Amino acid sequence: MMLSFADVSFPDIKTSNDAINSNSNENSKKNIEMSDRTIKQNIEDINIEDNYIKDNIKYYKNFAIIENEKSKDNSHKRKNIKDKVETTVKPFVLLYDENNKIKILTPFDEFYDQNLLNYIDDIWNLIKTNKSPDMIKHGLHQLLINSDDKTIVSYLIKHRMLQKIMEQVQNKPELMVLSNVQRTLAVGIWHGGVESVRLFLEFACDSTPPTTMNNELTIDKFPVLRSKHVYIKDKIAVLETINAIRQSGASNLQIVTDFDLTLTKQHIDGRHVLSSFGMFRHCKQLPQQYLDKAKDLYNKYRPIEIDPEMPVNKKADAMRDWMMAAQNLLKGIEFDPHELEEVAQAFDNILRDGTEEFFKKLYNVKVPIIIFSAGLGDIVEAVLRYHNALFDNVKIFSNFLKYNGSQLDGFKNDMPIHVYNKNECALEKNYLKIFQKRQNVLLMGDTIGDANMVEGIEDTKAVLKIGFLYEHVEASLNSFMENFDIVLVDDQTMQVPIEIIQNIL
């Protein structure tokens, strides 16, 4: 079955007798009575082949269905049906099957709620992503101007759709094909400006350069994104970002990622994985006094770092204090850096499955990888080197050990990097200036602070943010979904980033 058109009216639009032609009031009332009496089946029983429509049909679980026979050669029947539905006060949806049978779907009275607004959003998204049935693929303007004899559309829904389009145009001026279309369309909302609607829709549906909508990637290209552990707040926005990155190519892309618990696993068989500082504490040269005090700092500040209830500003203050204390604790310790390579070998299974493959693919297409780590940069380098992943395109910005002779003297960087100041450090040191021509970003992290790593950096365009979540999932999921485009719950692999890269590069 193919979705031919969906039509809704809204409680905020007056549909009283005054709003309907008096000659059609009687037909309208009869149609409403028919809608209430005739319930053939629930919407869930309809066999809809289009997966996108099927996925979004949840808004219509309370719809009743009225069936009317319609023949291709029976134009008078078609006109009678059209006359009835155009004067119907209630919302309705029209479906056609392959045999040209019409189904009119109407909701029960209590269905006036936010779901109707959601449906208009869905229709707009169908238009933009070309994931609609054939009718919309051939141009929504045919529907709005009634040039298609299969189209039945009410006056109210025309206005509602035009309002929705206008809202989108105002937010995306690049969609305007002519300088006066926006003004004309605004007038057209109330005066039936068909020509302006046609111009806009032809541009939006048929003239998107340089990649046409038919060539854009769809969700079907990313089977892993349908996994139960993958959470996406706005699939349409994610696809738009992915397609924008794909259109610009590898030369305009950079990867910005955290290290601890992002490139490394969050757990192995249920046991928490050590951070880079945690691995550093396995160096045999370190005195027990240092180890004890470092552990005390961890026990004090780690719960604050992962507390889903604590405000970010308080967390940031605590993380700054932690890094300052950690830096001071290092001073005066005799240390031979060669042991770092041995420690990296001892944790040979710490990287997420597929990390080496991910890095290799990016190296082959010359996409830079920028690692912002609030951990210890010396360990980050040692781990990547051991796994043959420290390619020329990898740049690490982290807390690196500073030496005074053979003794440690804190960190080289003046401003210790913690999870909530990575973007500040990037701006302070102009770390990303060498990549300023690369305006698209694939960002990965495991904390809310990581989601802001590229905030404040000028000229970024398409930014896709992937968040890895493991601890306090129930309490943290909503905030993660607000800050990341894709949230992966208890995923210890690089499967999702790899699949995205494979499709866009």
Neighbours of 315 (CB within 10 A): 21
Beta strands in 34-129 (DSSP E): 63-68, 92-96, 102-107
Backbone angles phi, psi at 281, to 5 degrees: -70, -5
Helix H or strand E segment including 444:
strand 440-445
* Contact (CB, 8 A) for 119 and 160: no
For the CA atoms of the chain, what is the radius of gyration?
29
Helix H or strand E segment including 327:
helix 312-330
Residue of 471, 465, 462, 461 whose CA lies nearest to 487? 465
CA 481, CA 230: separation in Å to the nearest integer? 11
CA 127, CA 137: separation in Å to the nearest integer? 7
Helix H or strand E segment including 243:
helix 235-248
Backbone angles phi, psi at 14, to 5 degrees: -65, 125
Spatial strand order of the sheet with 63-68 comes to: 2-7, 92-96, 102-107, 63-68
55 as an active site residue: the answer is no
CA 450, CA 445: separation in Å to the nearest integer? 5
Residue of 121, 124, 128, 123 whose CA lies nearest to 53? 123
73 as an active site residue: the answer is no
Going 206 to 210 to 215 to 219, the CA torsion angle's sign is negative
Neighbours of 435 (CB within 10 A): 16
Side-chain-side CA neighbours of 10 within 13 Å: the count stands at 16
Which residue of the set 7, 122, 260, 491 is catalytic? 260
Which residue of the set 7, 258, 446, 491 is catalytic? 258
Neighbour-count burial of 203, counting CB atoms closer than 10 A to its CB (0-12 exposed, 13-18 middle, 19+ buried): middle
Whether the upstream peptide bond of residue 210 has omega within 30° of 0, thus cis, is: yes
Per DSSP, the three-state class of 373 is strand
CA 235, CA 217: separation in Å to the nearest integer? 12
Tokens of 24: 């059609």
CA 381, CA 388: separation in Å to the nearest integer? 10
Which residues carry out catalysis?
A: 258, 260
